[in-house]
Amino acid sequence: MASIKDPVAAHNLRMWERLARVGMMYTRPRGRPPRTRAGMRRFMDPRGRLKGVRLDGARVLGLAAGGGWDPVIFAKLGAATTVFDISPTQLKTVRDLARRERVTLRTVRGNMKDLSVFADGSFDVVWHCHSLVFVDDAPRVLHEAARVLAPGGTYLMSTMHPTTLRLYNTFTGTGWSPKLPYFSDQPMPYVNEWDATWTYGRLEVVAPTLEWGHRFETIVNSLAEARVVVDGLWEFSPGRPDPRPEPGSEAHLDTLFPAFIEVRGRKLPLP
């Protein structure tokens, strides 16, 4: 598999297997979706980015979407669903959940930099949440995602905000000191072991994933080059802002800058 020869993908694969072993956030289905179609859509897409997009009968690709509910909900909503991920454990989690929920979907293992297993225009929706950060070559992934999208299809992605990602764990006591200039294309350096530690409730695991804060111009222009025009772009921190965050904490930073971005695009019809 191409990913084995890709040192970034190979490293992040090892890290995701480590995260999945302990059941870290993003590696197990959280909560329980409502039974109604509207409730399921809200559960999966709380900000309504796919409002008006038909899912019943649609061909949906959950790109790097292992470990959670999303692909299973697409299948419950009547979509012919494929989930693609590099981690065998993340894919197994989805397969086990699909079996329990009595839906069928297809799982494919691979590196999102190479979607050659899929023909051009083979999906109506590409759902790509919280994973572009784990690849060095964002244009290549975005060109691939656009290639497999059918004309008129919808691409929806979320990832870390490129400014905020450069600032986590860099509080000096009076302000933040970015790990990298905004214009740098390097992966985020880790400032200490805590910076490389993932936490979820009482769970803690050191997993220094390689992460990139891809800039807006990279994302928007890469999509445009591949005939996907952006029709929505959002910056947000999830949940309610902590009214008294510990100075310098992630919660504090997330009140000052958005944690995440979301970008939606539509593939233009053929010329």
**Do the Cβ atoms of 261 and 216 come closer than 8 Å?**
yes
Instruction: List beta partners, residue 206.
Output: 197
Token output for 181: 């200039």
Q: How far is the CB of 27 from ligand SAM (least distance, A)?
A: 7
Smallest gap, in angstroms, from Cβ of residue 193 to ligand SAM? 21
Using CB positions, name the residue nearest to ligand SAM: 68
Spatial distance between the Cα atoms of 23 and 53, rounded to a whole number of angstroms? 32
Length of the chain: 271
Angle (deg, nearest 10), helices 88-100 and 7-22: 50
Task: Determine the 3-state secondary structure of 254 from DSSP.
Answer: helix
CB closer to ligand SAM out of 9 and 156: 9
- Residue with smaller CB distance to ligand SAM, 148 or 176: 148
- Applying CB under 6 A, the residues found at the interface with ligand SAM are 9, 12, 16, 26, 64-68, 85-87, 90, 111-112, 129-131, 134-135
Nearer to ligand SAM, 32 or 244 (CB): 32
Indicate the residue among 85 and 254 with the shorter CB distance to ligand SAM: 85
In the complex, least distance from residue 28 CB atom to ligand SAM, rounded to whole angstroms? 9
The token pair at 258 is: 């958005």
Residues 6+ apart with CB under 8 A from 95: 105, 107
Residue among 176 and 198 whose Cβ is closer to ligand SAM: 198
We find the least distance from the C-beta atom of residue 112 to ligand SAM, in angstroms, to be 4
